[in-house]
Amino acid sequence: MAEDRFEVGVVAIRRKLKSAWADHAWLPHSILPAVPAAKPWTSLGRSGEDELFYAGAFELRLHPSETAHYRDNLTSGRPSLWVALRPIGGDEHEVATVTADPYEGEALAGGIGEIVEAVPMPPELQAKIAAFFEANHVERIFFKRKRDRADPEALGRRGPARGNERGDEE
């Protein structure tokens, strides 16, 4: 049976900004297919004015009911993982979530307070998610519901009330 959960490493970038309001921004940058021995928020090096950090580990979980979403992601031409960083005070952040479900990723992007980015999915993770899809996917047939036929008498005129129709005692 294919794995339904595995740990990944998250890399974030501290990007230099040219702004009067902020001098830098934190953004999810990439995913490591395995968790390194480094401590969270270890500097991985610089690229010009930007600096890369190992943000920490996160357990990516896959759910059998979302296999069609994973298929959509894998066949999109640019398989991605959505990473959310949450500010926890000052200049500190934590990895809030990592998901392979593109629809969940889109919903995360609509939230307030978290920094969400789609990052490329490493080939090793693509293989694991494809194996999970193959082991768990059940094609669900689309069933279009038919509406009940309208009752032409439902909105018709009613005659005068006869007695007490509610059954209350007088």
The answer to whether position 76 is within a domain reads: yes
The answer to whether position 145 is within a domain reads: no
The answer to whether position 152 is within a domain reads: no
The answer to whether position 64 is within a domain reads: yes
The answer to whether position 78 is within a domain reads: yes
The answer to whether position 49 is within a domain reads: yes
Q: Rounded to whole angstroms, how far apart are CA atoms 13 and 17?
A: 12
How many other C-beta atoms are found inside a 10 Å radius of the C-beta of residue 70? Answer: 22
Q: What is the pLDDT of residue 1?
A: 59
The answer to whether position 132 is within a domain reads: yes
Q: Into how many domains does the chain fold? A: 1
By residue range, what is the domain housing residue 67? 5-136
pLDDT in tens, the chain (170 residues): 578 889 999 999 999 888 889 888 899 999 999 999 999 999 999 988 899 999 999 999 999 999 999 999 999 999 999 999 998 887 889 999 999 999 999 998 887 888 999 999 999 999 999 999 999 888 888 788 888 877 777 777 777 766 655 555 55
Q: What is the pLDDT of residue 91?
A: 81
The answer to whether position 141 is within a domain reads: no
Give yes or no for a contact between 81 and 73, defined as CB atoms under 8 angstroms apart: no
In terms of DSSP bridges, do strands 50-61 and 5-16 run parallel, antiparallel, or are they unpaired? antiparallel
